[in-house]
Amino acid sequence: MRTLIILTLLAVLVMAATCYESHESMESHEYLNPFINRRRANDFIQADTRLRAITQERIRERSKAPQEHQRERCEDYYPCEMYAFRHGYAAAYKHYFGRRRTK
């Protein structure tokens, strides 16, 4: 009987030692609420990077390749566009606009 009481007390002491929550673990805000607020969910994204990405996109829109300018010019002229459907935009641009020379 005495052995059973000693083993029970020993089991209670081991359980108390391993299951005890210290004050340090209660200091964490994540203990009470592990999820963050919706407003703070995107706080880690810097506004600079979003603005920089938009600026880079606008710069790319302004500086187009010469082939893109030629294609847009050909699309604005209906006969050139029809010719481009059969032979391609490079050939159509050369056919309609390539022979023009400015003096």
pLDDT in tens, 43-90: 666 666 667 777 887 777 677 788 888 888 898 999 999 999 999 999
Average pLDDT, whole number, for the chain?
A: 78
pTM confidence score? 0.39
Within a domain: residue 43? no
Domains held by the chain: number: 1
Q: Domain range holding 96?
A: 65-102
Q: What is the pLDDT of residue 24?
A: 61
Domain assignment present for 46: no
Residue type for position 26: M
Answer whether residue 94 shows pLDDT above 80.
yes
Q: Is residue 22 part of a domain?
A: no
